[in-house]
Amino acid sequence: MRHDAIIFDIDDTLYDSTRMSTMARADAIEAMVDAGLPKGKDETLETLRQVIKRDGANSSRHFDELLTAMDLPPNAKIVAAGIVAYHNSKLAYLRPFEETIPTLLELRGLGYSLGVVTNGVAVKQWEKLIRLGLQHFFHTTVVSQTAGFSKPDARIFHACCEQLSVDPVHCVFVGNDPYSDIYGANLVGMLTVRMRKGRLADIAPQTDEHHANHSIDKLADLLRLIDSGAIAAPE
């Protein structure tokens, strides 16, 4: 069976999202302590993790809520120090994996249509692609906020396929999450490739439906799968 399109997740698939988040949070906490936060760095970082887990990664009030969670009064200086350090660190680490751009170029050259399916706030997800310098590589990008449904909902995968004018069975999906990425793409009949990067790299699939057809350690391994015939050439 031929494969005409390859569709990607963004975080920990096209760039090291886990490293970026880890470093940005640590730098933010250090800046907040330097600005007068009267708590230890380890305790504060753990509390921040709990706040993010509770409120979601897209909240704009993580550092305000951090002070509340630690029974501290509001402090604009400390919050601002955390925000500035976080964003400075985030921009420093928001870089594609070394093999991302060469692999995307090679895939385009081989004739594959390329797409992105990602969960999140549309502006933030587009900001990532633009800062990574990757936005022009993809024929379409589908973000959950705009689509109205999130991975692993089959509809978001179908939406991308419709925009690419490709049937799901002729698509390959590449992502790092056994649930939202692999399970969701399996549901619609895509060939699935799990990228073993980041915080989910060692998470075991819960069921057979969470197993990918193939696993890779770096994006360039997609070319090896193509050379071996595991991923077929486009028509």
User: CATH 1.10.150.520 spans which residues of the chain?
Assistant: 18-93
In whole angstroms, give the CA distance from residue 200 to residue 202.
6
pTM passes above 0.85: yes
Question: Contact at 8 Å (CB) between 6 and 174?
Answer: yes
| CATH classification number, 5-15+96-228, choose in 3.30.360.10, 1.10.600.10, 3.40.50.300, 3.40.50.1000 | 3.40.50.1000
Mean pLDDT of 201-209: 88
pLDDT band at 102 (very low <50, low <70, confident <90, very high): very high
Sheet of 5-8, strand order: 140-143, 113-118, 5-8, 171-175, 191-195, 214-216
Question: Which single residue is written with the structure tokens 């350090």?
Answer: 85
In whole angstroms, give the CA distance from residue 208 to residue 187.
12
Q: Report, at the CATH architecture level, how domain 18-93 is classified.
A: Orthogonal Bundle (1.10)
Tell me the pairing of strands 214-216 and 113-118.
unpaired
Alpha helices in the chain (DSSP H): 17-34, 41-55, 62-69, 76-93, 100-110, 122-132, 144-147, 154-164, 184-187, 221-228
Instruction: Quote the Cα angle for 189-232-109, to 5°.
Output: 115
Mean pLDDT of 100-118: 97
**Residue 94 pLDDT > 90:** yes
